[in-house]
Amino acid sequence: LWDRLERGETPTDEERADAWLSRTHAFQTSRRVVGLLYDTVGGNAIYTRRSPLDRNLRDIQTACQHILGQTKMLEEAGGLLLGDGGEHPLM
């Protein structure tokens, strides 16, 4: 994908879908990882000033609300792979 873009070429629908799926996966996996860490640390995540996990949890929850991280956008990527999608301007 990167090489194609550097050459000024338009990515294929499959490449566009793959990039979108990869981004969404990264957002959602990050949210799960931070949530697991938060649960593991327990109350220390809230009551210990040295723990950044409380802030990290809020930040990743907020980031997952961005259009790039929302799971509902998986439909758009699926549509691209099935030849009927990509209508979203960011797609």
CA distances 86 to 14, 15, 22, 23, 70, Å, are 11, 12, 16, 15, 15
Q: What is the pLDDT of residues 45-81, one digit of tens each?
A: 777 777 788 888 999 999 999 988 888 888 888 888 9
C-beta atoms surrounding 17 within 10 Å:
22
Two tokens, residue 52: 């950044």
The overall pTM is greater than 0.85: no
Q: How confident is the model at residue 91 (pLDDT cuts 50, 70, 90)?
A: low
pLDDT tens digits for 1-52? 889 999 999 999 899 999 999 999 999 999 999 999 988 888 777 777 777 8
Say how far apart CA 43 and CA 55 lie, in whole Å: 14
DSSP, res 91? -
State the Cα–Cα distance between residues 2 and 9, nearest whole angstrom: 10
